[in-house]
């Protein structure tokens, strides 16, 4: 294993012996194709003309006026599929094809990654299988239909907490059984090396565009950049090009859920960066929500996409080295921010992204965010309408 | 008992029957009786699973067993108490099979000390490949506990070398790709895989083996041990006359662990 495989003490390759040859092959091939002109030409073709890049950096005038600072929204919600997820799925599906694999498997939480995988799989002619926790199948029904229409096979997972972490377990089990024909298209900056690096690289298109666009508009870099964080792919993709610009505050906003407490089996939040402890989950050493024995706690968030007990190892490293600030927004704060953006800007944000907005609205007037703020609006909220309607009727506990 | 002593005790034409059950499934007391049945039936080594919430190398059978055990209250503290209370009653080696986070969280050194003190002779950690195993390997060496690493059909020559250098007790040879669980299609090339592994450490074959005939074939192909897990766990899950059935099934499997051959 190379030193690239770790971020400080985090990262690594804690996987079954059977997967080692596959992840070594992936690392080798990725290293080769990431600079291959044919690969890059194909990647840009799909990213630009299929997915709809580049996305605007939108100056949110009304929000800015009300909250007294300049707020820019990176409009990843305008991408094909409605979220940033497609940046990564196109990249990896293309990589799978270049590697000669004809089948891709993926896990999905909210269904956004599954949908984006199904889109990339269909466009690139790959057999696509998506694992999704039963609980998520329930709360994101339309995404299940979308995936099926796109030709993917969706397997509900009834094990464990029936959410994202169990879907990852099941996708890993599939991969280990079909490793010759299959590429595991992981949806976030989690898992064994080289996944956190590959996903971060494919998502860095977000931060690279922000850098160029903000300089065009403001002739300088922003004071702070805010992204919601579940596994952390939109956050790492937005932050990565700015990590060395140390004057810029990078802020991860995690799901504070119902409360920051835990029961013996479950956390009532998904804030693994904020309050998780070092451990090993899904192939990497990172911060995780666990009990005193090391059993993984179930997590909670109103947004399925943030509902995860772990977080990308590089984010854990950036937090420990104090490059990254972390914060939480509760279910309620996210809902309030959701409505605020709908009313003020005419944009329906994903509940995931609403956590990042909530933090900015909360802190705008304290001065700690500075004057120019970029929020990554990682997805659109059409998929969340049922959840929002139910919670406004006070049905709670979704 | 040390694992190497057990293999030394076996006859020249005899392979070890290594059985896996999940500790605390369906209850800690039941595990004591299950172990007793396995030993009466002829199991030579017992792998006692320490259940983890997210057992990603396991198929549905052992996933379900882990869940039952955790729900019945099994945890690492109780596990070591349970092992302490049975390990000196049976003159066979006990092996702990678990996932790395439970070891890491307890503190690798302390975990291995607890193994040694309670009577665990070796550890198997399916999510810890040889590259990540330094810390555990050092702790094991210090405490005289065997680290049992895994070799699979896709493990290349160089890696086989690395794995055999770091392993002791026995080598866990996985007969096919995938997760644990009973399957009829055990790889036919188990014999070839065994030949590829050039080591004096005993080789035990596992994953998917659940019939006496499969045991016989694996033994004929040159294995020094056969690992059977899900088939026992299925009996436990049935909750039907489990102690007698486990003893009988273990005896039937053990009967197929002998080769009648004349050395040429």
A290 near B CB under 8 A: yes
Instruction: Determine which helix (DSSP H) or strand (DSSP E) holds B48, and give its type and residue range.
Output: strand B45-49
Identify which of B54, B57, B104 has the shortest CB distance to residue A16.
B57
Report the C-alpha gap between A327 and A261 in whole angstroms: 15
**CB-CB neighbors (< 8 A) of B127 in chain A:** 14-16, 280, 283
Q: What is the pLDDT of residue A135?
A: 85
Q: Provide the Cα torsion B56, A311, A157, B153; round to 10°.
A: -30
With CA atoms as reference, report the closest residue to A257 among A237, A225, A230. A230
The three state secondary structure string of B192-218 is HHHHHCCCCCCEEEECCCCCHHHHHHH
Token pair, residue B140, equals: 């094991």
* Residues of chain B with C-beta less than 8 angstroms from the C-beta of A160: 53-54, 67
Residue A166: predicted pLDDT: 86
A49, A219 Cβ separation under 8 angstroms: no
Q: For chain B, say whether A161 makes contact (Cβ under 8 Å).
A: no
Q: What is the pLDDT of residue A8?
A: 96
Quote the pLDDT of residue A304: 86
Any B CB within 8 A of A40 CB: no
Q: Cβ contacts (< 8 Å) between B147 and chain A: which residues?
A: none
Test the B interface: residue of A24, A265, A267, A280 with most B CBs within 10 Å: A280
pTM comes to: 0.95
Edge-first strand listing for the sheet containing A182-184: A153-157, A127-133, A103-108, A182-184
Searching chain A, which residue's CA lies closest to the CA of residue B106? A293
Q: pLDDT by residue (tens digit) across B62-109?
A: 999 999 999 999 999 999 999 999 999 999 999 999 999 999 999 999
Distance of alpha carbon A379 from alpha carbon A150, whole angstroms:
19
Chain B contacts of A282, Cβ < 8 Å? 54, 56
3-state secondary structure of B113: helix
* Rounded Cα gap, residues B183 and B115, in angstroms: 31
CA distance A154 to A128: 9
Cα dihedral angle (B234, B237, B240, B241), rounded to 10 degrees?
Answer: 70
Nearest neighbour of B127 by CB, restricted to A16, A179, A293: A16
Cα A303 from Cα B90, distance rounded (Å): 52
- B151: which chain A residues are within 8 Å (Cβ-Cβ)? 17
DSSP A83: B
Backbone torsions φ then ψ of B21, nearest 5 degrees: -135, 160
Contact A14 B128 (CB under 8 A): yes
Q: Is the pLDDT of residue B184 over 80?
A: no
Q: How far is A196 from chain B (nearest CA, A)?
A: 17
Q: Please tell me what DSSP assigns to residue A297.
A: P
Exposure letters A113-137 (e unless 16+ CB within 10 A, then b): bbbbbbbbbebbebebbbbbbebbb
Provide φ and ψ at B118, rounded to 5°.
-85, -10
Q: Look at B106 and A294 and tell me if their CB atoms are within 8 Å.
A: yes
The minimal CB distance from B100 to the residues A14, A168, A173 is found for: A14
Tokens of B127: 């999510």
A291: left (phi over 0), alpha (psi -120 to 50) or beta: beta
Verify whether residue A27 is a known catalytic residue: no
Max distance between CA atoms of chain B, in angstroms, equals 54
CA–CA dist B136, B150 (Å, integer) = 15
C-alpha–C-alpha distance, residues A60 and A87, integer Å: 24
Give the single-character DSSP code of A290.
Answer: B
A192 and chain B in contact, CB less than 8 A: no
- pLDDT, position A2: 44
- Mutation target to probe the A interface, by most A beta carbons within 10 A, among B129, B131, B135, B161 is B129
State how far the Cα of A372 lies from the Cα of B44, in Å rounded to an integer: 69
Q: What is the pLDDT of residue A192?
A: 97
Per the annotation, the verdict on A233 as an active-site residue is no
Please name the residue of chain A whose CA is at the shortest distance from the CA of residue B150. A17
* Catalytic residue (one of A272, A301, A316, A378): A378
Cite the DSSP H helix spans in chain A.
Answer: 20-33, 37-45, 61-67, 85-98, 112-124, 134-139, 141-149, 164-177, 195-203, 205-218, 233-239, 272-275, 313-320, 331-345, 351-363, 385-392
Per-residue pLDDT of chain A (398 residues; tens, 9 = 90+): 445 689 999 999 999 998 999 999 999 999 999 999 999 999 999 999 999 999 999 999 999 999 999 999 999 999 999 999 999 999 999 999 999 999 999 999 878 999 999 999 999 999 999 999 998 898 788 889 999 999 999 999 998 778 888 899 899 989 988 988 999 999 999 999 999 999 999 999 999 999 999 999 999 999 999 999 999 999 999 999 999 999 999 999 999 999 999 998 899 999 999 999 999 999 999 999 999 999 999 999 999 889 999 999 999 999 999 999 999 999 999 999 999 999 999 999 999 999 999 999 999 999 999 999 999 999 999 989 989 999 887 654 44
The Cα B154–Cα B156 span in angstroms is: 6
My answer on whether omega of the bond before A194 falls inside 30° of 0, hence cis, is yes
Which residues of chain A have a CB within 8 Å of the CB of B156?
A: 21
A158 touching B (Cβ < 8 Å): no
Q: Which two tokens stand for residue A325?
A: 């600030």
Which residues lie below 8 Å from residue A96, measured CB to CB, with a gap of 6+?
A: A104, A124, A126, A183, A185
Strand partners, B96: B48, B123
Side by side, which strands form the sheet with A6-7? A6-7, A10-11, A284-288, A277-281
User: ω into residue A54 within 30 of 0, thus cis?
Assistant: yes
Let me know if A107 is a catalytic residue. Answer: yes
């Amino acid at each position: 294993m190379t030193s690239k495989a770790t971020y400080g003490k985090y990262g690594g390759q804690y996987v079954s012996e059977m997967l080692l040859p596959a992840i070594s092959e992936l690392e080798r091939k990725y290293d080769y194709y990431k600079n291959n002109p044919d690969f890059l030409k194909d990647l840009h073709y799909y990213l630009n003309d299929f997915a709809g890049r580049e996305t605007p950096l939108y100056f949110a005038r009304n929000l800015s006026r009300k909250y007294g600072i300049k707020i820019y929204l990176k409009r990843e919600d305008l991408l094909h599929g409605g979220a940033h997820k497609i940046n990564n799925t196109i990249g990896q599906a293309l990589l799978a094809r270049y590697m000669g694999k004809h089948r891709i498997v993926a896990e999905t939480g909210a269904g956004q990654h599954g949908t984006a995988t199904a889109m990339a799989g269909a466009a690139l002619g790959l057999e696509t299988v998506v694992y999704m926790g039963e609980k998520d199948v329930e709360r994101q029904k339309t995404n299940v239909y979308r995936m099926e229409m796109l030709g993917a096979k969706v397997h509900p997972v009834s094990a464990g907490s029936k959410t994202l972490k169990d879907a990852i377990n099941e996708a890993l089990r599939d991969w280990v059984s079909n490793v010759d024909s299959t590429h595991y298209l992981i949806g976030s900056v989690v898992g064994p090396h080289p996944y956190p690096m590959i996903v971060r690289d494919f998502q860095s298109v977000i931060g690279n565009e922000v850098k160029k666009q903000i300089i065009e508009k403001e002739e300088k870099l922003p004071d702070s950049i805010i992204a919601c964080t579940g596994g952390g792919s939109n956050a790492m993709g937005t932050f990565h090009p700015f990590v060395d610009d140390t004057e810029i505050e990078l802020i991860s906003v995690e799901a504070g859920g119902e409360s920051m407490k835990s029961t013996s089996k479950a956390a009532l939040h998904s804030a693994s960066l904020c309050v998780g402890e070092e451990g090993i989950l899904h192939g990497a050493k990172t911060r995780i929500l666990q009990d005193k024995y090391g059993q993984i706690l179930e997590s909670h968030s109103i947004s399925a996409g943030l509902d995860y007990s772990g977080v990308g190892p590089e984010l854990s490293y950036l937090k420990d080295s104090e490059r990254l600030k972390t914060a939480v927004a509760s279910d309620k704060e996210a809902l309030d921010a959701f409505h605020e953006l709908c009313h003020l800007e005419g944009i329906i944000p994903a509940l995931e992204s609403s956590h990042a907005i909530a933090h900015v609205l909360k802190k705008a007037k304290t001065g700690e965010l500075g004057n120019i703020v970029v929020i990554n609006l990682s997805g659109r909220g059409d998929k969340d309408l049922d959840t929002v309607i139910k919670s406004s009727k006070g049905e709670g506990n979704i | 008992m040390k694992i190497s002593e057990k293999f030394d005790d076996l006859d020249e034409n005899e392979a070890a029957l290594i059985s896996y059950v999940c500790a605390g499934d369906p209850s800690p007391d039941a595990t004591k009786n299950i172990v007793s049945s396995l030993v009466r039936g002829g199991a030579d080594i017992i792998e006692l699973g320490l259940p983890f919430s997210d057992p990603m190398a396991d198929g549905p059978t052992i996933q379900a067993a882990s869940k039952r055990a955790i729900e019945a209250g099994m945890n690492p503290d109780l596990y070591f108490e349970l092992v302490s209370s049975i390990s000196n009653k049976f003159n066979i080696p006990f092996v702990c099979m678990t996932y790395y986070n439970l070891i890491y969280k307890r503190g690798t050194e302390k975990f291995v000390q607890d193994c040694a003190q309670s009577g665990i002779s070796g550890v198997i950690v399916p999510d810890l490949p040889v590259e990540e195993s330094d810390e555990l390997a050092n702790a094991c060496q210090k405490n005289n506990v065997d680290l049992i690493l895994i070799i699979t059909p896709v493990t290349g020559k160089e890696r086989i070398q690395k794995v055999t250098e770091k392993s002791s007790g026995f080598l866990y040879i996985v007969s096919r790709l995938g997760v644990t669980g009973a399957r009829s299609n055990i790889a036919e090339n188990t014999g070839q895989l065994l030949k590829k592994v050039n080591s004096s450490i005993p080789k035990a074959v596992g994953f998917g083996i659940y019939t006496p005939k499969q045991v016989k074939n694996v033994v004929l192909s040159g294995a020094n041990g056969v690992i059977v897990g899900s088939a026992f766990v299925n009996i436990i899950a049935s909750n039907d006359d489990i102690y007698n059935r486990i003893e009988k099934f273990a005896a039937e499997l053990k009967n197929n662990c002998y080769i009648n051959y004349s050395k040429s």
